[in-house]
Structure formats: C-alpha cells, structure tokens
Structure 1
Amino acid sequence: MSLLITCDTGGWKTPTRLRSHLDDTELSSSDQMVAGEIGIDRLVRQGIDREANFATRRLAYCSGGIAICNEYRADLIDVGRSLHHRDLFSPAVRELPAATRSAIIEEIYSPYRTRVERQLLDMLRTWSYVVHLSVRTFNAKTRDGRWRRGDIGLLYDPSREDEVDWCMDLVEELYHTAPDLKVRRNHPWRGTNDSLTKALRGQFLPDVYLGIEVVLNRSWVARSVACRDETLSLIGDAIGELTGDLIERAA
C-alpha cells in the first residue's frame, strides 16, 4: 500500500552523544516533559507527545500503512519544523550553546528527515504516488481557556487538488463509520503552515505526493480507555479502505 504514516513529536529517548551536553541542565532527564507525569495536564501537550506516537502506530496497523516514528525527544527539537522556524527548539534548548544545538540537529533532526525522504523515494519505485500522513495531537483548550471544537483536523494544501479530494473522501468515509467524530479541515491551523509535509511538497510533485497532517484533539486521544482505541481503529480502517480504493482506481 502506498501509505506512509509518520510521527514527528512522540519520541522520548536521548541520543547517547547528547547526554553529556545536557548534564546539569533542566533537560538532563528524558522524562521531565512527558505527558502523564504527576502534576502535568494530559489535555495540554508538554513537548513529548507519546499519545501521537501511540496513535500513529495504531493507525498504521489498522490501515496497513508503513509507520516511521521519531524516537528522540521532541522537547529537544521539533523535527517537523524547518531549521529557521522559531519553534524548532524549546526555550530551554535555545539557551544552550550553539555547538549543542548543532549536535541536536545532527543527531536527531537530519537523520529523521532523511529517513522519511528515503522511504518515500523507495515507495515511489513501486507505486505511482504516496499518501503521507503526519500525526500530531493538539491541546484541548485554547490559550484563553476555551474548549476547541473538533475531534480530528485534516490539514492540507488547498491548491493541491488530490489532497483536497483525499481529505473530502476521508470525511465522507468517517461520516458513515464514525458519525460521532467531528472532523474539521485545516483546523486548528492551516495545512500550509511550516511542517514536514509542506517541506516535502517542495520536493515531490503533486501527482506523486499527497502530504496531509492528521491532528487529534487531546480531549479524547490522551485518555487511555477502550473507546479511544476503538476510535483509532475506526479511523485507521477508514484510511486503509480509502487508500486501497484509490490504488484500485489508479491501476
């Protein structure tokens, strides 16, 4: 199946080479910013997004897609951002020496981006196009405390017709299989914002690459209950059915 599902922000490991750089800093513990720790609100993403990691693997399993998850800590660097983006590093990392920041890019950022690009190229040797879904979660509340509406956001480039059609088809599929889910398009932010999918659109033509961010509301995906797992399975099944149908039509 020409389906790749990635997770930029779900890792929690620290590369061996970086451990000495982080000694005696607030970043020395890999568990410091993991959601679920006592005193941390699960509804607010704190840097390391384990829920997105879990969701990515579940969606890939149910849809039959290939999963690639960044195994290293998102509180060190957000590998989904471009190198010039203001949120590439967390505030704590921005205070570290330039040599340390360069080492983080070399150890975490560059290998992950290269791995995703190589996987896409490898898949395109077999398939005429690839659907790439990049999974994240978003905070259940806005900064001013209002609850966000919507359970799932599908973020895409409106100028790419195939991405628009794919998202519309998924919305329709979920309407029939999971009618209680509120699916919104280009919410809670735009699909043309800085992201890995946006960067890859610049490398692959629109007729061979569909890059879509699937963002999940932490109001439900951060709760470790059977209903969450069942919902992710329904979404994964819908993605698998849709991608399979597209392949048959293209054949």
Structure 2
Amino acid sequence: MAFAQPDRRQQRPGLVISCEHGGNQIPAQYRELFSDQQALLDSHCGFDAGALCIAKDFAKSCAAPLLSSTTSRLLVDLNRSIGHRRLHGKTIAELPPTPRQQILRQYYQPYREQVERLVRQAVLEHGQVLHLSVHSFTPELEGKVRNADIGLLYDPCRVGELAFCARWQADLHNCLPHFQIRRNYPYAGKNDGLTTWLRRQFLADVYIGIELEINQKHIVKAGRRWNALRKVLTASLCRVLVNSCLENTHTSQ
C-alpha cells in the first residue's frame, strides 16, 4: 500500500541522499571468489567511481542524511529488484540459492529497509521528501559513446519529479554551458531501480525520486577540474532546493 502524509505542515521538503554503488569492496567471506577479478572490480562494473564523493558533498552542504554502500555491485546490486537478472554479478549468480539468500539478508535487505525508513521519516517531518540517488556512468558502453556529461533520471508521469529535473537542468545549463545535461539519459528513470521501488511505496505528492548520473570521464581526470565540478554541482543543488522551497511557499499563499 502506498504511504501518504496528508498534513503538509512545512513547506520545505525533506532531503535524503543515497549512493548504492559507492565502492568495490568484497566482504572477507567472499573474497576468494573474486581473487582473479580485481580489474573487473575496479571498472564501472564494480562500482560508480566518484559517486560517493559527490553524495557526501551534497549531504554535508544540505545537512541531509546520507545512506551509502561501499560493497561492490558484483556481490549484490542494491539498485536492482530481487529477481532482476543483474541483481548479482556472474560469480555470485552461479552460486546455489542458500548463499545468495544469505547475501540478500546481510547486505541487500538492511540497506533497502533503511532507505525506506529515512524516506518515511522525512515525509512524516516535512510532508514531502526529495530522494536523490547519486551515480556515475562509463563514457562508453558496448562500443557506443554516451552523449551526455550529466543525466537526471525521473519518472515523467510524476509532476513533481519532472518539475524538479527541469529546474535543475536549467540551472546546470547556466553553470555549465559547455556540458550536455540530459534528462532520462543514459537510462530511463522508470527502469528497475531503488527510486522505482520507492515510488510504489509512496504517493507522488509526497515522494520525489531523482537519480543523478555523472559521466566518469570527468572523474577520471580528477584534479582541479573535478573538484571544481563537485562545487558547481553542490551549489546548483542547494540553489534549486531553495528556489523550489520559495516556489512552494508562494503557491500556498
């Protein structure tokens, strides 16, 4: 059953930051299975490079709770539903059901439950929540170059998500005029994922689920440009959040 909080006592939405692919660690009990796969773990298949760094920036600047995982998606992908063919990497997918179920109990379910608790608490306190899930993507996949620097993923059927991404895209265009800022690219926001699952738990007027995708070509270069981009993204998010708050206040008067 979807959860709704009808009494919107405060105009400012709550904010929850999450990062599902923040690292490429493998728990000790499973490391032997990945003993010859370090290159894969270090690649985009193992984790989202730079995503956790940005998520921490956002959480600190916006004074928002951050839930993150540094366990590799090759063990279990926290951004996939149970039953999805890519819930586990190949090594784990080939294991018998019992160890796979243990991985879900130990790493997957607690994370999902904690995200839901944070979102639910923000709805109770603020009447509405913006959940921002931070990711990064490889510049090239299966021989195709991704034509974007930053992607904003959302469900276009949800008015609040569409409106927020339109505002954020416009602000980012002003800050980064040479960047390609695209919506629902390189993935569709309605695809299987954590935000899609949470949309089934919370109604559209209380839950705004957005995924930020950053092209890893900007992260690999690191140095001053990467640090500058982090500051721009953080300032832009804070600015759009404030403007959204003001817009809601004016609308309610």
- Please indicate the TM-score interval, normalised by the length of the shorter structure: 0.7 to 0.9
1:247 CA drift (Å): 2.3
Segment of structure 1 superposing worse, 199-208 or 71-80:
71-80
Aligned in 2, Cα 1:23/1:141: closer, same or farther, shift over 3 Å? closer
- Which residue is equivalent to 2:198? 200
Residue 87 of structure 1 corresponds to which residue in structure 2?
Answer: 86
Question: 1:3 aligns to what?
Answer: 15
Alignment TM-score, normalising by the size of structure 2: 0.86
Q: Is 1:150 aligned to residue 148 of structure 2?
A: yes
What displacement does 1:243 show?
1.2
2:158: which partner in 1?
160
**SS of the residue 1:221 aligns to:** helix
Q: 1: distance between equivalents of 2:169 and 2:117?
A: 30
Q: Distance in 2 between matches of 1:153 and 1:188?
A: 7
Write the deviation string for residues 113-161 of structure 1: whole angstroms up to 9, x where unpaired: 01101111111122121111111111101312x3211101111111111
Residue 239 of structure 1: how far off its partner (Å): 0.9
- 1:219-251 CA-partner distances (Å, limit 9, x unpaired): 112332111121121111111111122223334
Higher helix proportion: 2
CA distance in 1, matches of 2:41, 2:221: 15
d(CA) in 2 for partners of 1:218, 1:140: 6
Q: CA deviation at 1:28?
A: 5.2
State the alpha-carbon separation in 2 of the partners of residues 199 and 23 from structure 1.
Answer: 30
Could you say which residue in structure 2 is the equivalent of 1:41? none
State the alpha-carbon separation in 1 of the partners of residues 103 and 23 from structure 2: 14
Once the two structures are superposed, the pairs formed by residues 1-251 of structure 1 within 5 Å of their partners are 2-15=14-27, 19-20=28-29, 22=30, 24-25=32-33, 27=34, 33-35=40-42, 45-144=44-143, 146-251=144-249
Change (3 A) 1:8 1:216: same
1:185 CA displacement:
0.6
2 CA distance for matches of 1:7 and 1:170? 19
1:210 Cα deviation after fit? 0.5
Contact kept in structure 1, 2:41 and 2:74, CA below 8 Å? no
Distance across 2 between alignment mates of 1:222 and 1:128? 39
8 Å contact from structure 1 (residues 135, 213) kept in 2: yes
User: Which one-letter code corresponds to 2:185 in the other structure?
Assistant: H
3-state SS of the aligned residue for 1:105? helix
Question: Equivalents in 2 of 1:53, 1:219: separation in Å?
Answer: 16
Shift of the 74–142 alpha-carbon distance from structure 1 to 2, 3 Å rule, reads: closer
After TM superposition, the score normalised by the length of structure 1 is: 0.87
Rounded to whole Å, the distance in 2 between the matches of 1:173 and 1:23 is 43
Structural RMSD (CA)? 2.0
Q: CA contact under 8 A between 1:151 and 1:183: conserved in structure 2? A: yes
Q: 1:8 to 1:30 in 2, by over 3 A?
A: farther
